Amino acid sequence: MKKLRVVHYVNQFFAGLGGEERAAERPQVRTGPVGPGQALQKALGDAADVVATVWCGDDFFNEHEGDAVATLNDLIRAHAPDLLVAGPAFNSGRYGLACGRLCTSVAETLGIAVVTGMLPDNPGAELYRQRVHIVASGRTPMSMGETIQRMAALGLKLARKERIGSPSAEGYIARGLRCSELVSARAATRAVDMLLKSVRGEEWETEWPLPIYDRVPPPPPVKDVRRATLALVTSGGIVPKGNPDRIESSYATKWLKYSLVGVKELTPDGWQSIHGGYDTSKANEDPNRVLPIDVLRELENEGAIGRLLEDYWVFVGSGASTTNARRFATEMARDIVANSVEGVIFTAT
């Protein structure tokens, strides 16, 4: 059987260059395995060789995605691989997004097999799981060995165009596909078997898993808004001019809180929207369109509301994973309740 050629993609950290101080590194290449590529080569055994390692800084990739993808495609193409292995990225959002985006591009442009790995909660998994095979990793590099093993096994199957099993069998994140499969037992027999296992308290697995959606009961109404303390929360990305705390414009991994002490309205020279999911030109002309401080101050002065809390909470909803969104809600709610807030006005885009 032909020995396969593999190119491995990593970020600046796993290339051994450094952490955030080297996140602006441009795409580069080196012959052979680098860093975790050594474990990848061991997992591939005699079936394939890691002929090259390409890397790019996380900041450079996400801030210059077009240039990064084009350059990395050229570097990968030069080594004529049969398979691209990217990561694993674990819980790193920028790294996960880069792995997913590069795999998608390489599969479409070069027409070769691709596989990556990351935590299922990684925003890259939510965005790219339907387009590429993503092996589920642990949260930290502590799970590197096991994850690399599964990535190598799945990658070899993909490169050889062998039959790929179910997500639970192969260890990849479900892609939302339903495939027909011929089995010996009839549907009625399988259904009764599952029912009996359920009645006996034994483990069983449905053949048709359904999505589970959160149900959030509505809170009780504010008793008297004229005496209530109200808070503002926005997913519209309104931040101080220049985005000093570097909140992400898409695929958010954090939320922030800013003071409104002495702020009667938001001015375009002091505030802006950094949201990556809509045209922010109108919001930047008048940030009050997204975060209506001006109107709320008027209502406060008129006595129509008790008072506006002198802090507001902000994040960006564009591309945010549901897992991160749940975490944001829990953390912000805890902070809001601690401020004795009786009502929240949530503005979006």
Q: What is the CATH number of the domain that holds 68?
A: 3.40.50.2300
Supply the pLDDT for residue 35.
92
* Listed residues 170, 203, 238: the one ending a domain: 170
Q: Are residues 277 and 155 in the same domain?
A: no
Helices assigned H by DSSP within the chain: 37-44, 58-63, 65-77, 93-109, 123-128, 144-159, 167-170, 187-199, 281-285, 293-302, 322-338
Tell me the pLDDT of the chain (349 aa) as tens digits: 789 999 999 999 999 998 888 889 999 999 999 999 999 999 999 999 999 999 999 989 988 999 999 999 999 999 999 999 999 999 888 899 999 999 999 999 999 999 999 999 888 888 899 899 999 998 888 999 999 999 999 999 999 999 898 888 889 998 877 777 788 899 999 999 999 999 999 998 888 777 666 778 888 899 999 999 999 999 999 999 999 998 888 878 889 999 999 999 999 999 999 998 888 899 999 999 999 999 999 999 999 999 999 999 999 987 777 778 888 888 999 999 998 899 999 998 7
Supply the pLDDT for residue 219.
84
Q: Are residues 10 and 122 in the same domain?
A: yes
Decide if 128 is inside a domain.
yes
Q: Are residues 161 and 253 in the same domain?
A: no
Q: Are residues 166 and 236 in the same domain?
A: no
* Listed residues 170, 190, 205: the one ending a domain: 170
Handedness of CA 148, 115, 103, 99 (dihedral sign): negative
Q: Are residues 17 and 101 in the same domain?
A: yes
Q: Are residues 144 and 251 in the same domain?
A: no
**What six digits make up the tokens of 255?**
């939320």
- Determine whether 300 is exposed, middle or buried from the number of CB atoms within 10 Å of its CB (0-12, 13-18, 19+): middle
Decide if 221 is inside a domain.
no
pTM score above 0.75: no
Q: Are residues 166 and 263 in the same domain?
A: no
Decide if 213 is inside a domain.
no
In 3D, which of 50, 48, 58, 59 has the Cα closest to residue 14? 58
Domain containing 327: what range? 229-347
Decide if 54 is inside a domain.
yes
Type of residue found at 191: A
Q: Are residues 269 and 132 in the same domain?
A: no
Q: Are residues 21 and 148 in the same domain?
A: yes
Structural domain total, the chain: 2
Decide if 186 is inside a domain.
no
Q: Are residues 159 and 75 in the same domain?
A: yes
Decide if 83 is inside a domain.
yes
Decide if 219 is inside a domain.
no
Calpha distance 219→210 (Å, rounded): 28
Q: Are residues 101 and 238 in the same domain?
A: no
Q: Are residues 155 and 275 in the same domain?
A: no
Type of residue found at 113: A
Supply the pLDDT for residue 212.
67
Calpha distance 16→35 (Å, rounded): 7
Type of residue found at 45: G
Decide if 279 is inside a domain.
yes
Kindly state the greatest CA–CA separation across the chain.
Answer: 81
* Listed residues 170, 197, 213: the one ending a domain: 170
